[in-house]
Structure 1
Amino acid sequence: MNPIRFNLRIGLLGAGRVANQLGPALAAAGHQLAFVWNRSLAAAQALAAHLPGAQVLPSLAAPLPPADVYLLAVPDAAVAPLLAAVSWPAGALVVHLAGALPLSIFEAQPTVRGGVLYPLQTFSPGRAIDWPTVPLCVEAGDPASETTLLQLAHSLSRHVRQLDSAQRLKLHVAAVFANNFTNHLLGIADALLAEAALPPELLAPLVRETVDKALAHPPFSVQTGPAVRRDAPTLAAHAAALAAHPAWQALYAQLTASIQAQL
C-alpha cells in the first residue's frame, strides 16, 4: 500500500538533519511548507530553497504565518524553550518529533494543541531516507489532532503506530541500543582493525549475517562467541589485546558479563 495523499500547510521550525530530510519528503507528499525558521538564517534559507513556496522567517518575534501543523524539528533540549518563546496562534497544533519527550511537555502552553510525530530512523547528511518504510509514531492530546497527525503520518509512511509517551520512551531506549550503541561498537571494531593495518571490509560479511540473523530470530537465542562458550583463555587473550584501551577493555568485560547473564 502506498502512502495516502493528504494536503496540509506546515510550518517547519528547524533546519537540521531531520528537517532537511523531512521537509522535502513533506513537499513530495503534496503538503505545502508555509515557512522555515532556524536559529541560523543561512540554514533556513538553504532548506527553503528545496521547498517550493516556503517562506523564510528571519525571526520568531512577529506573529507566525498560518499553518495547519507547526513541526518542531529541533534538538530535544530546545523544544521546551521554543514552546515558551513563541507566540503561538490560539489553538495551533504544535508537534515535536522527539522519541524521549512526553506529550505532557505541552501542558505549559495550554493555548496550543500538542502532538508527537516520532520518526524511528537515523538521519545523517548525504544519506537518503526511504520514508514509506520508516515507522512513524503518533500521539496527540485530542481526537481532532490525532486524526490530523495520523493522516499526515500515513501520507509519508506505510508504517504508522499510535504510541503513548511511556511506550515511545521505551522504544527510544531500544533504538539507542540497536542503532547508536551498535554503531559505536562498530567504530571500536574499525579502530582495532586500523591498528592492525587491516581493511574494514573484512568485517562486512560478518556484520551483515549478524544483523540478518538477529532480525530473523530472537537475538539472545542466536548469540555466539567466547562469552557464550565461557572460553576463559580467549576472553583473557582479548582483555590483554585491549590493554592499550582501558575504556574499551572495561566495555568488553561488561558486555561479556551481560551476555553470560542471559544464558
Structure 2
Amino acid sequence: MEISFIGAGNLAWHLAPALENAGHHINEVYSRQLQHARQLVSNLYDAHTHSELNFADSPSKLFILSIPDDALEQVCSQLVLPEDAILVHTAGARTLASLEQWMAIYSDVPVQTGVFYPLQTFSKGQSFMVFDEIPLCIESGDSVTEEILVQLGQDISDIVYIITSEERRALHVAAVFACNFTNHLLTLAHDLTVQDGLDFDLLRPIIGETFRKGLAASDPADVQTGPARRGDLTTIDTHLAYLSNQPKLSEIYQLLTQSIQHQYRQ
C-alpha cells in the first residue's frame, strides 16, 4: 500500500519502518518541524519530506495522523487529500466520530476514516520496535476500510483487534495506569534513593520480580504484597514519618495505601 505519514514523532519513528519492512511503501512524511521529517525519512527506503498539508497530488492511498491529540482538529482543518483516500488517527483517547466529523466539515472530497492504534509506549531515537506482539486496535465506519486496516495490521502484528472508540478509551486509561503512572512511580523511587545517597540499582531486582509476578498472574491483585496489603499500620506510620517533610510524596503514598487497603478490605 502507498502510505504517507502526517507527523514524525515517537510512534511514526517506529511504525513507518515496520510498515516498510512488511512490504508497504512510505511516500511522504510531513512534520511542522521539517528536521523531524528529515530524520524519519533518513531511516526509510524511498520516502521524501512533505512541507505542507496539501496532499491532493499524492500517490498515497492511506494517510496516517501520528500527531498529538490536541493538534488533530487543527491539522484536519488544513489537510487536503486525494479523493477516496483513507485517513486514520493513532490516538488512544480520540473517537472515530470526531475524525469523521472533521472530514465532513473540512474536506472537499470524499475521505474514508478509521483508527489504527498500537497499544504500546514508543520513544523516538531508540532501536526500531518489532510489532509482532504489539496489539493493534482497529476501527472504521465502513466494512471495506475496516478490512483494509485489519489486513495492514496483520501485516506487521500477530495481535489485531476490532475495537470501538469506547473500548479503546478504556484501554487507554488502563494503559496510563499500567505504563505512565508506573514509570512515574519508578521515577519517584529513583529520586528517593538518590536523595539519601543510595544506588537505584539496589531496587532493580525487586522491580523486576514485581513485574514478572504481575504479568504471570491472571490477576495482579493475587500477588500484591507490602504493608498496605497486610495491614501493617506501624510500618505505614514509619514511612509517613520519613516523608513528613515531602508533602507531595506523602500524599501519593497515602492515596495509594488507601487504594490498596480498600481493594483488600474484608
- What is the TM-score normalised by the length of structure 2? 0.93
Any stretches of 5+ residues in structure 1 without a counterpart?
Answer: 1-7
Task: Measure the CA separation in 2 of the matches of 1:144 and 1:97.
Answer: 19
Once the two structures are superposed, residues 106-163 of structure 1 have per-residue CA deviations (whole angstroms, 9 ceiling, x without a partner) of: 2231332110010111111343312111111110110110011001101111111111
Any stretches of 5+ residues in structure 2 without a counterpart?
Answer: 105-109
Cα pair 2:13 2:125 within 8 Å, conserved: no
What code does the residue aligned with 1:255 have? Answer: L
- Tell me whether 1:199 sits opposite 2:199 in the alignment: yes
What code does the residue aligned with 1:225 have? Answer: G
Give the SS at the match of 2:60.
coil
The match for 1:5 is: none
- What is the TM-score normalised by the length of structure 1? 0.94
The match for 1:235 is: 236
Once the two structures are superposed, residues 11-43 of structure 1 have per-residue CA deviations (whole angstroms, 9 ceiling, x without a partner) of: 111111111111111111111001111001111
Give the SS at the match of 2:64.
strand
The match for 1:30 is: 23
What code does the residue aligned with 2:131 have? Answer: W
What code does the residue aligned with 1:108 have? Answer: W
What code does the residue aligned with 2:255 have? Answer: Q
Identity across the alignment (%): 41
Where in structure 1 do 4 or more consecutive aligned residues deviate above 6 Å? none
Once the two structures are superposed, residues 157-177 of structure 1 have per-residue CA deviations (whole angstroms, 9 ceiling, x without a partner) of: 111111110100000000000
1:88 Cα deviation after fit = 2.1
Give the SS at the match of 2:228.
helix
The match for 1:258 is: 259
1:190 Cα deviation after fit = 0.5
Cα gap change, 1:127/1:45 in structure 2, threshold over 3 Å: closer, same or farther?
Answer: closer
Task: Measure the CA separation in 2 of the matches of 1:139 and 1:254.
Answer: 36
Cα pair 2:55 2:82 within 8 Å, conserved: no
1:99 Cα deviation after fit = 0.8
The match for 1:221 is: 222
Selected match of 1:41 from 28, 31, 34: 34
The match for 1:52 is: 45
Task: Measure the CA separation in 2 of the matches of 1:17 and 1:108.
Answer: 24
- Matched pairs, number: 256
Task: Measure the CA separation in 2 of the matches of 1:252 and 1:134.
Answer: 32
RMSD: 1.2
Task: Measure the CA separation in 2 of the matches of 1:116 and 1:134.
Answer: 15
1:229 Cα deviation after fit = 1.7
